[in-house]
Amino acid sequence: MTWATRAAAAGLSALAGVAARDLLQREHTLLRNFPVIGHARYLLESVGPELRQYLVAGNNEERPFTRDQRRWVYASAKKQNNYFGFGTDNDLEYTAGYPVINHRTFGRAVPTTHVQAGHDTPLPSAKVLGGPRGRARAFRPESVVNISAMSFGSLSGRAVESLNRGAALAGCLQNTGEGGLSAHHRHGGELVFQIGTAYFGCRDEHGRFDLARLKDLVASAPVRALEVKLSQGAKPGLGGVLPAAKVSAEIAAARGVPEGVDCISPSRHAEFSDADSLLDWVELLATETGLPVGIKAAVGDMAFWRELTELMATTGRGVDFVTIDGGEGGTGAAPLIFTDSVSLPFQLGFARVYSTFARAGLQEQVTFIGGGKLGLPDNAIVAFALGCDLVNVAREAMLAIGCIQAQKCHTDTCPTGVATQNPWLSHGLDPELKSVRAATYISTLRRDLRKVAEACGVEHPGLIDSTSVEILTGRTASRPLAEVYEYEPGWGMPSPADQAEIVRLMTEAPQGGSAPPSPTAVG
């Protein structure tokens, strides 16, 4: 018997074994009815996202990020040509809800002619974080674009390190996420320390919040602000679960939990139970640490926000910033119903919360931060027009350091090592290289935001008002953004004093600096 004959016989035997197994099993009707060939269905299902991403989907069909959006982030991160040719792929005439930015023929700010002008020019916040309430360690964030909350545990250590190094290079903030402050967060980037329901990183042996541990942690790292997480866009109202197998010694140390035991976050905080006790706790944290303290939430029932603003207006207590996460956001794993249908999308949720503060006359006392696909320039401009002072980027930052939208974040099998604790998968992610890409992406996004602001006749994206954006309502009609969300005149803008100061800072900022190569024009 020749080698080829033996190989063919072995192959046929294997197929016969598979067929026999399919016919005898009871779990899958498809395999009992179509032995062997029925497996093709499960194979195609398993690689469906990859097939759509590379072979089937059009440039604007995929979600959560289209091919065009991913291409823009990748090119921006790699200093490549991020221009697009031959016009837009978007169907402007028939897309209700599509935003259109109204540029101005004349304005205070004259757009610079060079495509890379302003690439490394600072783009600070129009507001001082913690300034209105006189926090001891109030500061003006150097960057209007910052890295959103993504925990060590959800992301690999190398991914967290890449983002922290990138934050240092870009001069922006990195939010730790609720998983504590790890060694991977200590590579030069300044931090916003997030306090979740499990108080990871600042909890005692019984899992309760420990103020002394929080103060020690803050003293040991470049923490600039504290963020109390009430909920998040991925799974509002739910706590997280990190399986025991993923709770390594490193993760256990960062979170202050036992190694090798399921790490479960409660769905609610134990330190407060309503808006009144929340404000007491916020003031305690601010007094003891001197840091600005804010809250993060996805938006659902508005009763909480009305109660919060009423208490802030009448008692003198208050949060320094509010981070609104859109229901379309989320790097974490979640049940499908929560991913699809729980909490409002960013624009609607943010506009409702901002309006609640504005009606109470509190909008100038609070720094507003947005999250939920705001790492794309068009979405970010709408956010600024609605009243955001800062935007946070999460999945876009992941794309910048190598994520390919494989949507395996919940399986611990992320092929690029970004969202996994598998040492073999994460070892290929080089923090020195990826940190530069993260920083370049953030710098490019800031440059584009500034250039759009200049096209609108102003010096800073925070000065773009809600009348400068229109929302298409069909083929032949549109409505101003202010009208869509029932904004009153002046809403969405910083105070006159803050406007004057940010204009001064932008006017005096030096131009130039190192910039990526200019895209090559194709004529």
Q: What is the CATH number of the domain that holds 241?
A: 3.20.20.70
Residue 59 has a pLDDT of 61
Predicted TM-score (pTM) of this structure: 0.86
User: Domain total for the chain?
Assistant: 1
CA distance 370 to 389: 8
Q: 37: burial class by Cβ within 10 Å (0-12, 13-18, 19+)?
A: exposed
Whether residue 111 has a cis bond before it, omega within 30° of 0: no
Label the pairing between strands 223-229 and 145-147: unpaired
Task: With respect to residue 66, please indicate whether it lies within any of the assigned structural domains.
Answer: no
Quote the DSSP letter at residue 293. Answer: E
CA distance 148 to 161: 14
Quote the DSSP letter at residue 459. Answer: S
Quote the DSSP letter at residue 143. Answer: B
Name the CA dihedral angle for 58, 61, 64, 69, rounded to a multiple of 10 degrees: 50
Residue with tokens 């929080």: 214
Q: Express each pLDDT in 419-477 by its tens digit.
A: 888 888 888 889 999 999 999 999 999 999 999 999 999 999 999 999 999 999 888 88
Q: Express each pLDDT in 68-98 by its tens digit.
A: 888 888 889 988 888 877 667 766 666 778 8
Query: How far from chain centre, in Å, is Cα 274?
Result: 27
Judged by average pLDDT, the poorest of 272-276, 392-396, 425-429 is 425-429
Task: With respect to residue 476, please indicate whether it lies within any of the assigned structural domains.
Answer: no
Residue 178 burial (CB count, 10 A): 28
Residue 7 has a pLDDT of 77
393 backbone dihedrals φ, ψ, rounded to 5°: -120, 135
Task: With respect to residue 112, please indicate whether it lies within any of the assigned structural domains.
Answer: no
Residue 156 burial (CB count, 10 A): 25
Confidence of residue 292 (pLDDT cuts 50, 70, 90): very high
Task: With respect to residue 232, please indicate whether it lies within any of the assigned structural domains.
Answer: yes
Which are the contacts of 303, defined by CB distance < 8 A and separation ≥ 6? none
Task: With respect to residue 520, please indicate whether it lies within any of the assigned structural domains.
Answer: no
Confidence of residue 234 (pLDDT cuts 50, 70, 90): low
Residue 414 has a pLDDT of 82
The sign one gets for the Cα dihedral 143, 144, 150, 155 is negative
Whether 152 and 384 have beta carbons less than 8 Å apart is answered as no
**Beta strands of 136-213 (E only): which ranges?**
145-147, 173-175, 190-195
User: Which two tokens mark 257?
Assistant: 């939990």
Higher pLDDT, 138 or 251: 138
Residue 519 has a pLDDT of 39
Above 50 in pLDDT, residue 189? yes
Domain of residue 423: give its range: 126-456
Task: With respect to residue 15, please indicate whether it lies within any of the assigned structural domains.
Answer: no
Residue 93 burial (CB count, 10 A): 10
Q: Return the exposure string of 275-286: e unless at least 16 CB atoms fall within 10 Å of the residue's CB, then b.
A: beebbebbbebb
Task: With respect to residue 394, please indicate whether it lies within any of the assigned structural domains.
Answer: yes
Whether 247 and 263 have beta carbons less than 8 Å apart is answered as yes
CA distance 468 to 452: 11
Mean pLDDT of 119-128: 84
Mean pLDDT of 267-289: 96
Quote the DSSP letter at residue 132. Answer: T
Count the residues in the chain. 523
Q: Express each pLDDT in 312-334 by its tens digit.
A: 999 999 999 999 998 776 656 66
CA distance 134 to 385: 27
Task: With respect to residue 513, please indicate whether it lies within any of the assigned structural domains.
Answer: no
CA distance 379 to 141: 21
